[in-house]
Chains A and B, each alone.
Chain A
Amino acid sequence: MSFQAPDAGAAATATEQEQQGRTRSVTPGRKGRRSDRARSENRLGWMLAGPAFVLMLAVTLYPILQAAYDSLFSLRLTVPDDREFVGLQNYGVVLTDRLFWYSLGVTLFITVVTVLIELVLGFLLALAMHRAITRLRGIVRTAILVPYGIITVVSAFAWFYMFDINAGGYMNAWLDWIPGIDENLNWFAQRGTALFVIIASEVWKTTPFISLLLLSGLSQVSGDLEEAAKVDGATSWQVLRRVILPNMKAAIMVAVLFRALDAFRIFDNIFIMTNGAQGTEVLSLLAYRTSIGRLEIGLGSAISVLLFACVGILAFIAIKGFKVDLAGGKER
């Protein structure tokens, strides 16, 4: 592809942008002088960035608006002609249904538990990658990346077969020294143990992501500060708490935000392992089964909109609470 600059003037524009790029804001006083150039640059910018932008909106914004519209109708694909405007009634049905609140609870539980575990585990792995002696660093990093590359469904099957007593699950035999685990324990027949395996597979699959984000945070902590603290007699634990963690706050927040939103949408591994049985129903699965499974488009759309709203609220709380300027383009 070509971004051929049309003439020498364009090169001059480029330098000017570089300077503005650094201050990252256009000085108001200069607006008039560069208005012509600015306009053509604006146009070029939108010409290049526009297609991606429009496509993203078309694929996501349009469907969610459609879902919001559909959620106001009583609509089943099994009887498509029976379309009737019911206002907010679908929302009433969903919000008074115990299963909805129950799935919301399960979803939140999985989100909180996985993010907490991953934060600790991811930090340890990041430390291992950061501090590993040079010869081992590549190996450690490669190994950690493998789960990231594995398809979630494959990881779900791997964990399922490890524990499922009907498919050669050997975990009972390995863990039978733990009280409560014997050879006949059916992990997927009850809520607690089923959730345990679901969470374990989710943690395994997504910890690499969080630990990579934390690794880049760690590498931003200056070694001098650590040295100085050590010289002043701080223990490793104090260095960690007083120097390292505060200095990588931004990375931790971004990692938590991304992972929490991602965990809230959990679907694949639950679909494979229990399909929502034994009280492992989550919001995504509920939405899927209502609309695609039972073809209750009106109700399903209402759940989709509510799920979307939940994610929006979660993102809002996270961004406000963490005060992360994600689009600010701060060069760190």
Chain B
Amino acid sequence: MRALTGKQKLAWVVITVVVFVWSLFPVFSILMTSFKTQAGLFEPQLLPPEWTLENYESILAPGGSAQGLFLPALRNSIGISLIATLVAVVLSTFCAYAIARLDFSGKRLILITSLAVSMFPVISIVTPLFNLWRSIGLYDTWLGLIIPYLSLTLPISIWTLAAFFRQIPWELEQAAQVDGATPWQAFRKTVVPLAAPGVFTTAIIAFFIAWNDFVYGISLTSTSAARPVPAALAFFTGASQFEEPTGAISAAAIVVTVPIVIVVLLFQRRIVSGLTQGAVKG
């Protein structure tokens, strides 16, 4: 890389700052809102006139006004998203392995189907599922959300993993066998280490998608038995009927955002490669 002039360096710093502000400002804004007191909420300013933790207490502390709404939703979201991610990753690993490694009729069909499924308008599926789930008792249950979440997580998992697996030099496995390893050893020692980062990246992306869902969440649940966080946020109510739950919503939004941001910070390189490989290299 050529050495940069002082001017160019300055330009890059400016660009970086602009990108930074653009990306983080709304998050910062809702963080500030979460520290405002009920009175401070009506002041039209970014920083809280008076700082408080009462919003966090209301959603997390025992006896908090929105605690009964938030904590079960958090538990539901974590549980349902993790299970949906796990199932999707296991199934799509098998599927992508077959696509990358084996020659069988219908490979193309599977890839096209998963692409079509990922383009599906969720709202079109939700009405029939709503009816079906009500008649077979899956409405407002964990399983009733895990199954539809698979339609969100499976397609992208198959595409990203197939792209990852295609780049694995499978000849290594054979070379290991020639050197005397058993087929299982060869697979475990050569393929697994190369495939693991791809599987892991896919899991993160799939989890993001399940965690983000809103339509299934509000349509297929009615109580805290299964309602996930995004849906619960929309149903927050204030301490009194005339009080907007702005503060509590903001605090809850921050609580569910922080882990995601940490994951993004830790794994940004892998997430980038996973997303771009799956989508463009197909």
Contacts and interface: CB of A to CB of B under 8 A. Distances in A.
B150 to A, nearest CB: 6
A14 B112 CA distance: 25
B233 A287 contact: no
A168 B36 contact: yes
Contacts of B177: 8, 11
A93 interface: no
A145 B154 contact: no
Contacts of A204: 22, 26
B151 A212 contact: no
Contacts of A208: 23
B29 A162 contact: yes
B177 to A, nearest CB: 6
Given A45-B102, A151-B229, A271 B131 contact: no
B138 interface: no
Given A5-B183, A18-B171, A216 B104 contact: no
A178 interface: no
Contact of B264 (A66, A142, A152, A283): A142
Interface stretch (A94-102, A226-234, A239-247, A303-311): A303-311
A168 to B, nearest CB: 5
Kindly name the residue among B42, B91, B280, B282 whose own CB sees the greatest number of chain A CB atoms within 10 A.
Answer: B280
B12 A133 contact: yes
Interface string A60-71: 101110110010
B123 A63 contact: no
B230 interface: yes
A319 B222 CA distance: 39
B136 interface: no
Interface string B36-65: 100011111110000000000000000000
Given A158-B27, A213-B279, A284-B121, A21 B103 contact: yes
Contacts of A109: none
Given A132-B12, A272-B234, A59 B41 contact: no
A55 B90 CA distance: 13
Interface of A, helix, strand, loop or mixed by DSSP: helix
Contacts of B230: 151-154, 268
B128 interface: yes
A43 B147 CA distance: 26
A326 interface: yes
Interface string A252-267: 0011001001001101
Interface in B95-131: 95, 97-99, 101-108, 110-117, 119-131
17 contacts: A6-B183, A17-B103, A51-B95, A52-B158, A56-B154, A70-B127, A70-B131, A125-B19, A132-B15, A136-B16, A146-B24, A149-B257, A149-B263, A152-B230, A158-B27, A168-B246, A304-B126
Q: Considering the complex of A and B, which 8 residue pairs feature the smallest CB-CB distances, nearest first?
A: A45-B104, A216-B276, A48-B98, A66-B128, A63-B128, A304-B124, A5-B183, A52-B95
Interface of B: 1, 4, 9, 12-13, 15-16, 19-20, 22-24, 26-27, 29-30, 33, 36, 40-46, 90-95, 97-99, 101-108, 110-117, 119-132, 147-148, 150-151, 154-155, 158, 166, 170-171, 173-174, 177, 183-184, 187, 191, 208, 211-212, 214-215, 218-219, 229-230, 233-234, 244, 246, 249-250, 253, 256-257, 260-261, 263-265, 268-269, 271-272, 275-277, 279-282
Interface of A: 1-8, 10-11, 14-15, 17-18, 20-21, 26, 38, 41-46, 48-49, 51-53, 55-57, 59-60, 62-64, 66-67, 70, 77, 125, 128, 132-134, 136, 138-155, 157-159, 161-162, 165-170, 172-173, 183, 201, 204, 208-209, 212-213, 215-217, 250-251, 254-255, 258, 261, 264-265, 267-268, 271-272, 283-284, 287-288, 291-292, 297, 300-301, 304-305, 307-308, 311, 315, 326-332
Given A3-B191, A11-B174, A208-B23, 11 more contacts: A143-B24, A161-B246, A167-B33, A167-B244, A168-B42, A209-B275, A213-B280, A216-B281, A287-B124, A292-B126, A301-B127
